[in-house]
């Protein structure tokens, strides 16, 4: 007797694999990259925006801190990448932070890290999907009323693709990931070329002036430090994943 739920599950996530067949799920590097690098790549798309949103709260004068904050984020990202390389060499069997913490600090500490990672992944999906929907709506404004259904639809799509297996999700994510990387490289190259030929685009706000206001210098200094730190923490979303 055919059960409808089992048939639906088979159609959505595919057939279950035997343990002896798991070797077929091993991925080449060109396919593994879109899977394990998609989180930080997607975060890069809105990290700079988050830095600017915070800095502009203090006024246009604070925007000049952006390159320095970006440099600090890049330095932190470099440290994280080097640390991950050491972890991969020390723990080649996988397991990530859970295995590292469990082996060094105990099982309970490993469970805490695992729970923290689950919360982090939920936030990553929520922020990434919301940011992606915002960008789609900025290009097609009349979709604004469908913001929530679109976000839920993308979350469901991501869940289904991942449930079908690592190899299948890698194939699905490979094309958009490489297109995103190519788009970023083309954007950077185009911007540098237009800058070199003195044809760089100029924002409308570039003509705005800055008018100083009198106030408590000490309070302004504390507010500035807090604002820059908040901008740095927002910019660290580039490390998500």
Q: What is the pLDDT of residues 173-226, one digit of tens each?
A: 778 788 888 888 898 899 899 888 888 777 776 676 666 555 544 446 777 888
Tokens matching residue 178: 């490489």
pTM, rounded to two decimals: 0.63
User: Does the pLDDT value for residue 15 go beyond 70?
Assistant: no
Mean pLDDT of the region 42-63: 77
Per-domain residue ranges of the chain = 29-200+224-239
For residue 28, report the phi and psi dihedrals to the nearest 5 degrees.
Answer: -70, 160
Q: What is the pLDDT of residues 105-145, one digit of tens each?
A: 888 888 898 888 888 778 778 877 887 888 889 888 888 88
Q: Is 130 exposed, middle or buried (0-12, 13-18, 19+ CB in 10 A)?
A: middle
Interatomic CA distance for residues 239 and 77, integer angstroms: 6
Helix, strand, coil shares, percent, the chain, to 5: 85, 0, 15
Interatomic CA distance for residues 241 and 176, integer angstroms: 17
User: Does the pLDDT value for residue 96 go beyond 50?
Assistant: yes
Q: Is 132 helix (H, G, I), strand (E, B) or coil?
A: helix
Higher model confidence: residue 57 or residue 11? 57
> According to the model, what pLDDT value does residue 189 have?
92
Q: Is 165 exposed, middle or buried (0-12, 13-18, 19+ CB in 10 A)?
A: middle
**Residue 238 near residue 39 (C-beta atoms within 8 A):** no
């Amino acid at each position: 007797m055919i059960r409808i739920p089992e048939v639906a599950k088979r159609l959505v996530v595919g057939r279950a694999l035997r343990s002896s067949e798991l070797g077929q799920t091993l991925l080449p590097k060109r396919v593994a990259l879109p899977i394990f690098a998609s989180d930080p790549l997607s975060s890069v798309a809105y990290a700079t925006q988050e830095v600017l949103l915070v800095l502009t709260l203090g006024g246009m004068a604070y925007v000049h801190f952006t390159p320095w904050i970006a440099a600090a984020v890049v330095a932190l990202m470099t440290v994280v990448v080097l640390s991950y390389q050491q972890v991969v060499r020390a723990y080649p069997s996988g397991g990530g932070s859970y295995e590292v913490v469990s082996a060094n600090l105990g099982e309970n500490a490993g469970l805490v890290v695992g729970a923290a990672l689950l919360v982090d992944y939920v936030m990553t999906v929520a922020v990434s999907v919301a940011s992606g929907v915002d960008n789609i709506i900025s290009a097609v404004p009349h979709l604004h009323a469908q913001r929530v259904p679109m976000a839920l639809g993308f979350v469901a799509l991501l869940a289904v693709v991942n449930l079908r297996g690592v190899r299948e999700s890698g194939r699905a994510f490979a094309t958009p990931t490489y297109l995103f990387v190519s788009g970023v490289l083309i954007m950077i190259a185009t911007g540098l070329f237009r800058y070199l030929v003195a044809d760089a685009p100029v924002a409308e706000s570039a003509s705005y002036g800055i008018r100083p206001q009198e106030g408590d210098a000490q309070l302004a200094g504390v507010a500035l430090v807090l604002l820059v730190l908040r901008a740095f923490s927002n910019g660290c979303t580039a490390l998500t994943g």
